[in-house]
Chains A and B, each alone.
Chain A
């Protein structure tokens, strides 16, 4: 049975290898301080969709919300083997999960009958892991989060494996469902999602990506749907603990140090 998947992908700040503060005095991210990258869990979600396609066929549509420059991730989906990509033309940075899920639900409905919607569970810029759940609510579909692998899609059901504390559980969910993918792919090797395909990259670098405006999705003003707002960020510098060394043979010095440490000096 072929299985059609929609993958929601996001381009996020690349917070690796940061040097110095990235926030300005007002608590906003300094322009140019950060690069962007493909949200890693979204990449895992895409990989899960591609594996389903490898095994049983079907069509993969990638959807992202953002300005054209902010959705290069869509092209990266095509390079990896997604069949179609759709850009929802709205400024994602000013929208919350509720507004995003309204737009995305409308966009999902416009794709041809998906069996599964896949997305990353936790996303570094919001870190609230709500988009999948709210999107499912908006679509009135079922939702499973923290999924590490989709084990089977057959008979109107998807069987997925999800991480729980100290182990895993296997969950059955009816199609269509929204599935939020977590960190691991549950395989020793390869551990990482597949890279781009060179030929596809050469061929599809200029393929036009269709755009849906909020109006086409039945939303006049997405910003009006926003209910939660980040009003300020502040950075907390990491605590610096200085290490101390004494000669382990020198019992007196050891005692003195222990005393000082216990008294909080």
Chain B
């Protein structure tokens, strides 16, 4: 039987040989300290994580979710009398996830979850998304939503909701976007009315807030636990983002699904317009911190998940393209033997592995950050926190853009057949298109990353790789080739320090691309130390990256802000 974890050699390689489990587990698990900890040793924890990726995650994805994916896409969701009806195969998928007890992968054990690290959860999201991208929006967003509750809500709310999220009885939604507040969430208009005699930290037992307004494009908006960003403060006194708080709404008759969108892809998951009418809500955390703290936190988690979703779709497209290129014969031989097709396939594989390297490096940092926070290690928490905040948007940006490109090429390799519904690449191409849009467009990710790159938040990561001692002369030689692009990157960072903000934003994609190119080379070289095959990947990547970094350096220095307009 196929298995989407063990069959994905690159992912299994990263999990088995590259993640620094010793450091990660030392931070996240309390082996020997806590009677609650189910592991007797680091090795046991590591084996348990990886075994879980094989079975149930990889088994389910390959043998149940993937065979249903075409049907899920075809049937989509329906809205009948205000009730959202999921497709039957999606209901089966959700039941399988519940039966396999996977819906609470990162929820703390004391609330019935598995309390796994983000690294393991992200790998599971990739594997599930490879089978059915739309299923990820139930499985992969559950974590971020539950973690937000676990991190910031009152104990009573945690006890009320987390156990039922762990079993999968409850699924979650994040209601942030509104018709007039998309990327600009500070413009949110949904109102939250204070209960009588309330205090700053709301006690959910004594009184509830009342939410009114409209939210749009809400993934799984028909879910049971809805996190809502709403305006709780008087706009005259505290306007913009400072007037927003974060609330938990349990599905009830005063939340109505007005419509569900007809989308290009991810048909299995409903995207809802929600109307709240004086809807009872619990306040999460502190008033006025809704956007700056809780939404930002939730978005970081969700961005990692979307990156993994894109990564899984890219993997699926790569597998389909390889299969087709082997089977399809033209001019008397399989098309994979033709130079341009072969190059396309190799590049697809290389970029898929490149973005995976960056994605899981990000996961490691996120886990170290969470662990340091939980342990109260302030220095480390601050250091890893800065890295995680800068890396996450870059990893999301890179994985989703690469995945789009890989799906594009996968269709190209299929030729006319790829344009037809009969082949899965057609679905993959539609599914992947949302990934670089939602949870922040690529442009938003870049704007988030730029000041952090210029501040040097990620310089240490590059230095660490450049300064590692390497025994293998071949790897050392290849690393030597990274010096020039690194110098160009540093030069560009320097150049933009004092640049006009608008110009900075204009050339930001080029700077981020330069950074990714340099860092990904180093990650691939590091992988080469453990797997010889990766030397060829790194070598190819460096060959392709050098001229690109030089080009981007040019663009950073010479770009035009002027709009082209023949009428002017």
Spell out A's residues near B (CB within 8 Å): 40, 76, 79, 189-192, 194-203, 205-206, 245
Contact = CB atoms under 8 A, between A and B. Distances in A.
Q: Which of A195, A206, A245 lies at the interface centre, i.e. has the most chain B CB atoms within 10 A of its CB?
A: A195
B332 interface: yes
B56 interface: yes
A202 B56 contact: no
B327 interface: no
B38 A196 contact: no
B92 to A, nearest CB: 7
A244 to B, nearest CB: 11
Contacts of B1: 40, 192
Interface in B45-75: 48, 51-52, 55-56, 59-60, 63-64, 67-68
Interface of B: 1, 38, 40, 44, 48, 51-52, 55-56, 59-60, 63-64, 67-68, 89, 92, 96, 99-102, 105, 114, 332
25 contacts: A40-B1, A79-B55, A190-B64, A191-B63, A191-B64, A192-B1, A194-B99, A195-B59, A196-B52, A196-B56, A196-B100, A197-B99, A197-B100, A198-B105, A198-B114, A199-B114, A200-B101, A201-B48, A201-B55, A201-B56, A202-B52, A205-B44, A205-B48, A206-B40, A245-B332
B332 A201 contact: no
A198 B51 CA distance: 10
A197 B166 CA distance: 13
Contacts of A189: 64, 67-68, 89, 92
Contacts of A205: 44, 48
B48 A195 contact: no
B108 to A, nearest CB: 13
A191 B67 contact: yes
Nearest to A197: B101
A203 B59 contact: no
A167 B38 CA distance: 50
Given A196-B59, A201-B52, A202-B38, 5 more contacts: A192-B63, A196-B55, A196-B56, A203-B38, A206-B40
A40 B92 CA distance: 23
Contact of A190 (B51, B56, B96, B105): B96
Contacts of B59: 192, 195-196
A239 B207 CA distance: 79
Contacts of B51: 201
A195 B100 contact: yes
A40 B59 CA distance: 13
A86 B44 CA distance: 23
Contacts of A76: 55
Contacts, number: 60
A198 B38 contact: no
A198 B67 contact: no
The 8 closest A-B pairs by CB, nearest first: A195-B56, A192-B63, A195-B59, A198-B101, A199-B101, A196-B55, A197-B101, A196-B56
Contacts of A191: 63-64, 67
A206 B51 CA distance: 14
Nearest to B71: A189
A68 B422 CA distance: 48
Contacts of A197: 56, 99-101
A206 B40 CA distance: 10
A205 B44 CA distance: 9
A195 B55 contact: yes
A44 B99 CA distance: 17
Contacts of A202: 38, 48, 52, 114
B7 to A, nearest CB: 10
Contact of A198 (B64, B89, B92, B102): B102
A190 B92 contact: yes
Contacts of B101: 197-200
A207 to B, nearest CB: 12
A201 B59 CA distance: 14
A198 B63 contact: no
A191 B67 CA distance: 9
Nearest to A243: B332
Q: Which of B59, B100, B101 lies at the interface centre, i.e. has the most chain A CB atoms within 10 A of its CB?
A: B100
Contacts of A203: 38
A195 B55 CA distance: 6
Nearest to B114: A198
A195 B92 contact: no
A198 B68 contact: no
